[in-house]
Structure 1
Amino acid sequence: MSFTEKDLKQIANRGSDLKTIEQQIENFKTGFPFMTAKRAATIGDGMIKLDEKELNEYLEIFNQETSKKKLLKFVPASGAASRMFKSLYAAKDEGKSDKSVEQFHEQIKSFAFYNSLSKFLKTNEKQEQLEALLGSNGLDYGNLPKGLLEFHAYGDSTRTALEEHLVEGAQYANNKGKVRLHFTVSPEHRKKFKDLINKVLKSYEAEYNVKFDISFSEQKASTDTIAVGMDNEPFLDNKGDLLFRPAGHGALLENLNDVDADIIFIKNVDNVVPDHLKSETILYKKALAGLLLCFQKQIFYFLKRLEKPEPSVYMVNKAIRFIKENLSVETPKGFRNWSPEEKYKFAIAKLNRPLRICGMVKNVGEPGGGPFWAKNSDDSISLQIVESAQFDMKNKKQKEIFEKATHFNPVDLICATKNHKKEKYDLLKFRDPKTGFITEKSQSGKTLKAQELPGLWNGAMSDWNTLFVEVPLITFNPVKTVNDLLRKEHQPA
């Protein structure tokens, strides 16, 4: 692949890496391989189900240990809300109506944002409602990110999704009265996020007797991926420049890599509930963080002993048994014939890496990823979140494995990204670059191919130690369409 001088200058100005871009073009040519899943992770086979006694034990560990830990709630919040209003746009612009549009109009007064909307309404006719909700002369919700939309009503007041995360954070990411939250936002909305924070922060600090430390970051331009035409040659825009596109949530691995914390809670911006339903979310967040600390302590125990001069064969074997039985890693074929030195290196490699607990909810037919045992590049088998697009559905056996999944990934992660010496891992070294996605898009009427980086919670974390834990369904209440806000889980008690 040869780039012109103009191309090279554009690449350099973006802060992109030429070798990475060349690899991306190669990926378009060769495609990404499907994952090889061995079986679905189920309760008792890769999935932990906590009973009440265990929940309370891990909750106690969390309460005892976290005063010494730096906590952070990390919320990907750059997603635009426009997809929430797809059917409403069709009604507004093309006069197309369906059941969801009718439901929106019939129950419009049940939305938390109705009072704000009503200020722009004179006749309250359907078209006027749509214009006022989505247009720039009204609430402009069609151009805002989800985090800034009014989600829930509390008497005469309302809360945006962002504010619900502040309230949640105050109740489980609270260390001695200090609550740290980090939001990833898009550049064009950063000011609006900051303005909202400045407006509401003092009242929430007074209500919950805490001090918030709020930070923001944007998806780095250097993580954007190059687009190509259907011939796999770089796609040029109307100005003759190379076209780069945002690379999906996997690009946020760079943002996650930049934050500093001992325990990081990750949750999508639209997955929040009103106060009367928060208790189970808070309980499980704390308990799962306690479980994470428990496993981390055992991992650090082995690492410290294995790093001593000439660790005993007994200690190496004990560590490998822990890796197999507790960290759910199946060794490669022929492992028993490996030399003591090779086994030692394997044990160190599997222990000395980031750790995450992934909450999983029972499968209720939601699209997306789930928990599986999958084959890794070193021929070991471990727990992975695998998206449906990563399965070869033409392969009968793989399709059957996918369909046997009992649980679904709600994006409920608790992460530890430091080693036993309190040093931060370079998270970019623990992703699987072969787990990206290729999609077809269009620009100025021309079809192109776009590439997404390995997803934040699947390929980007594929070489982490992973534990799956069942969490209650009430902890998963995403808002994918505007009418989801009419569900009882998003309505006042």
Structure 2
Amino acid sequence: MNFTSQDKEQFIAKGVTNEKVLEQIETFKEGIPFVNLSKAAVVGDGILKFSDKEEQELVSYFEKYRLQKDLLKFTPASGAATRMFKALFTFLEVYNAKEQSLDVYIEKNNDKAVEAFVREIKDFPFYKDVKTRIGDNFSSEGEEVYAFVQELLSEDKLNYGFFPKGLLPFHKYKDQIVTPFYEHLREAALYAKTNDVAKLHFTISEQHQEMFLEKEKQVAEKVNKETATSFVVDYSFQKKETDTIAVDLENKPFRLKDGSLLFRPGGHGALIENLNDKSADIIFIKNIDNVVVQEHLQAVADSKKILAGFLLKVQKKAFEYASILDNDKVDDEQMNEIRLFLKEELNVRFRNGFIHLGKEEQLSLLKEKINRPIRVCGMVKNLGDPGGGPFWIKDYQENVSLQIVESAQIDTSNFNQAKILQNATHFNPVDLVCGVKNYKGEKYNLLDFVNDKQGFITEKTKEGRQVKALELPGLWNGAMAFWNTIFVEVPTITFNPVKTVNDLLKTAHQPK
């Protein structure tokens, strides 16, 4: 395929190569195969469940060694809140208070979202602020609610639809209204600090940088006094070189009206690059909108400590074995012991022919399997939420591994695959504790452990034309496909995302 000089200049400006663009175009042509589910991971087969005593021991283990470790809380926070207010944006477009009452509108449109919003409107943390702004001079409930929503979302007013989720008012306490950013600082003080210093990294959109910096100035000192913790906070943006080429329906590069090529953000999988820039001993990963009010905070923190304690214990063994494998004098008994450790504690599966390999081949394979980043992932019981979950999968070479799989990666038209999905017992809340260094203390290059064949192809519209977009393998899906993976059941209180504004009405976001 021939690119113009203008195209090549565009590649240079973006930091991408001709070869990378051609690879992506080839991916569009080939398509991305569905993941082949072998079975759902369940407690006792892919998911661990600890007793109360075991949990206490793991918390103690983490507390014992945490001062020796460099800890970091890594929070994807780039999303704007537009989708969170989708139902309310529709309400502003459709509803006319002069033509019909609010009750008639709700019944006619079966608008359950607006109905719930109105019914419990006084429980939203922003209620008093908005009400003060709009006053009381309204002739009907519909007119007042319309003005309320307009004040909340209009560009010339509060403009919350533009805000990053992390800076919206989420929780209302007696003396203050706080954001997820504030709650993440408080949370970090409980499990992600060493010597009274907590380090946090937020991946944000460039357009929101000043807003985050301003919020940090406003709240960091306050949370410092509340928690006796100093905070080191930094930020990064999704890298331009992770943008992907878009194509038309014939898989030819999509050109805008000015003749330039269309590139699109590569999705949250691009954040593996941002994560790769971090070198802490233990990295906690959690989404920006998954926070709780303070009465539930200790339970959430204890859960994180359990995961981190288990990571430290299993990592200690892995490091010892990795060191032994680097010793040329490793004997057959030790090799078998290491193989069992990989299988039983790191969920590594070997193909049947392993025992028939020569010693050097076995040794090489054991080294390759044990020298990988380790992630311990919390999993909650499936409560019917859409999204990813824990599965054993089998690749085209018959290799079996434990993965977090999104529903979009599964061929639900296949009866057997759909049945496995249906029988899944647990759900991925994005609750990861990661070890990204080897036994020598050297950080792995995380880009070496990405499965490039686990991305997503979606269809969009641009300039009135259909366009195919390529999303990179998801951060906790294909981007971590070749990590050693452990799943642990965690309490449902650890999973409280705010996907719609009405989620703020749930117990986890409403202080007693």
Question: Which category describes the TM-score, using the shorter chain as reference length?
Answer: over 0.9
Partner of 1:296: 315
Partner of 2:218: 199
Shift of 1:114: 1.6
Partner of 1:443: 462
SS at match of 1:334: helix
SS at match of 1:75: strand
SS at match of 1:329: coil
Question: Separation in 2 of the partners of 1:37 and 1:327?
Answer: 19
Partner of 1:326: 345
Partner of 1:176: 195
Partner of 1:114: 127
Shift of 1:94: 2.4
Partner of 2:4: 4
Answering whether residue 117 of structure 2 is matched by residue 104 of structure 1, we say yes
SS at match of 2:133: coil
SS at match of 1:129: helix
1:175-324 correspondence to structure 2 within 5 Å: 175-324=194-343
Aligned 8 A contact 1:329 1:380 in 2: no
Aligned 8 A contact 1:368 1:387 in 2: yes
Answering whether residue 493 of structure 2 is matched by residue 474 of structure 1, we say yes
Aligned amino acid, residue 324 of structure 1:
K
Aligned 8 A contact 1:292 1:414 in 2: yes
Shift of 1:18: 2.2
Aligned amino acid, residue 151 of structure 1:
F
Answering whether residue 436 of structure 2 is matched by residue 408 of structure 1, we say no
Where structure 1 has 5 or more consecutive residues not aligned to the other structure, the ranges are none
Aligned amino acid, residue 492 of structure 1:
P
Question: Separation in 2 of the partners of 1:221 and 1:192?
Answer: 21
Question: Separation in 2 of the partners of 1:332 and 1:270?
Answer: 40
Where structure 2 has 5 or more consecutive residues not aligned to the other structure, the ranges are 96-104, 139-143
Partner of 2:64: 64
Answering whether residue 392 of structure 2 is matched by residue 373 of structure 1, we say yes
Question: Separation in 2 of the partners of 1:466 and 1:28?
Answer: 29
Instruction: Give the one of 361, 368, 371 matched to 2:380.
Output: 361
Number of aligned pairs? 493
Partner of 1:73: 73
Question: Separation in 2 of the partners of 1:235 and 1:489?
Answer: 45
Shift of 1:378: 5.4
Aligned amino acid, residue 129 of structure 2:
S
Shift of 1:159: 0.8
Q: Deviations over 1:234-262 (max 9, x none)?
A: 11112211111111110000000001200
RMSD of Structure 2 on Structure 1 (CA):
1.2
Shift of 1:409: 0.3
Question: Separation in 2 of the partners of 1:218 and 1:15?
Answer: 15
Q: Deviations over 1:91-140 (max 9, x none)?
A: 11222751211221232221111223234213461221111101122211
Question: Separation in 1 of the partners of 2:274 and 2:487?
Answer: 24
Partner of 1:139: 158
Question: Separation in 1 of the partners of 2:230 and 2:395?
Answer: 43
Aligned 8 A contact 1:332 1:378 in 2: no
Question: Separation in 2 of the partners of 1:80 and 1:421?
Answer: 40
SS at match of 1:150: coil
Question: Separation in 2 of the partners of 1:437 and 1:45?
Answer: 28
Answering whether residue 176 of structure 2 is matched by residue 167 of structure 1, we say no
Aligned amino acid, residue 393 of structure 1:
T
Aligned amino acid, residue 231 of structure 1:
E
Question: Separation in 1 of the partners of 2:408 and 2:310?
Answer: 31
Instruction: Give the one of 137, 142, 154 matched to 2:173.
Output: 154
Q: Deviations over 1:148-203 (max 9, x none)?
A: 10000111311101111011001110111000000000000011000000111111
Aligned amino acid, residue 188 of structure 2:
G
Partner of 1:83: 83
Q: Deviations over 1:290-326 (max 9, x none)?
A: 0000000000010111101232222222111111121
SS at match of 2:335: helix
Question: Separation in 2 of the partners of 1:388 and 1:246?
Answer: 21
SS at match of 2:33: coil
Q: Deviations over 1:1-46 (max 9, x none)?
A: 2211110110111111321211111111111111112111111111
Answering whether residue 34 of structure 2 is matched by residue 34 of structure 1, we say yes
Partner of 2:93: 93
Aligned 8 A contact 1:254 1:428 in 2: yes
Question: Separation in 2 of the partners of 1:100 and 1:396?
Answer: 33
User: Post-superposition, which runs of at least 4 consecutive aligned residues in structure 1 deviate over 6 A?
Assistant: none
Aligned amino acid, residue 45 of structure 1:
D
After TM superposition, the structure 1 stretch with the greater mean CA deviation from structure 2, 376-385 or 109-118, is 376-385
Partner of 1:17: 17
SS at match of 2:315: helix
Shift of 1:377: 6.0
Aligned amino acid, residue 109 of structure 1:
K
Question: Separation in 2 of the partners of 1:82 and 1:365?
Answer: 24
Aligned amino acid, residue 150 of structure 2:
E
